[in-house]
Amino acid sequence: MRTPQRLVSSAVLGLLLAGCGAAPGEGELGNDRFLYACVERSDAACDDASSPTASLELLPVLAKGAVFRLLTENPANVPYSPTPRLTVIDGEAVTFRAEVAGYSAIFARDANGNVRDLVHAMVVEPAAVTLLTRQGGSAWLESGATLSVPVGSTVALRSAPADALGHVLAGALDVVWSSTPEDLLATVAKVDGNVLLIAPEAPAEGELKVTVAGSLLAKVKFVAAVGGGK
């Protein structure tokens, strides 16, 4: 398994596909700035944001099928996309779903319908689920690995969609956590979007699983023991 790349802060993922030498966040015409905003907690790009609505300076590489929000710094302009590659969510003028892989243009349009600026977004087909655990430091986990958590401690296990090269993708996708046995999940963890907050109070063993976008699956063997795992 390839080592997944870091989240939005990495140079590989944090791409604003702007031309003409534009600064990060700046539109390609230099008339406005575009800001990526969190829609849901399941958006892996927003794990380190201070709140689900915190704006990010860069437009990340998006997962196909994911929902994301794009804002303009100038409130007089509204982002829109003229192609079906990105569709606007009903009732949410600045919230989009990435429908088709590839490059798509997003325009900033004023109240008179004039294009004031634009930016290009890259959409990628998700190929796998990556897992990151935080227990003191951070570590990537391969699907099928063992996660040992001492009873009485707290660990965050988060999932994120990735492309075929292991680059983590942004955007809110459906995330479903489950376990074997079924009652293990409710016993040892709380679900917060794409993050599983694990705090075992008694010894337990089993398997924790996450399904992203309805078909991408990752799982870890789970052990909680007094004084540490086996």
230 has pLDDT over 90: no
How confident is the model at residue 227, as a pLDDT? 72
How far apart are the C-alpha atoms of 61 and 58, rounded to whole Å?
10
The residue extents of the domains of the chain are 34-124, 128-225
At the top level of CATH, the class of 128-225 is mainly beta
How confident is the model at residue 24, as a pLDDT? 53
Across the chain, mean pLDDT equals 84
The CATH number of domain 34-124 is 2.40.360:
no
* Domain 34-124 and domain 128-225 have a common topology: yes
pLDDT classification of 50: cutoffs 50, 70, 90:
low
pLDDT one-digit tens code per residue, 64-96: 999 999 889 999 999 988 888 999 887 677 899
pLDDT one-digit tens code per residue, 111-123: 999 999 999 989 9
Phi and psi at residue 185, to the nearest 5°: -60, -50
How confident is the model at residue 13, as a pLDDT? 37
pLDDT classification of 3: cutoffs 50, 70, 90:
very low
DSSP symbols for 31-96? S-BEEEE--STT-GGGTTSSSTT-EESS-PPEETT-EEEEEESSTT-EEE-SSTTEEEPTT-TTEE
pLDDT classification of 7: cutoffs 50, 70, 90:
very low
126 has pLDDT over 90: yes
How confident is the model at residue 56, as a pLDDT? 75
**Which of 146 and 10 is assigned the larger pLDDT?**
146
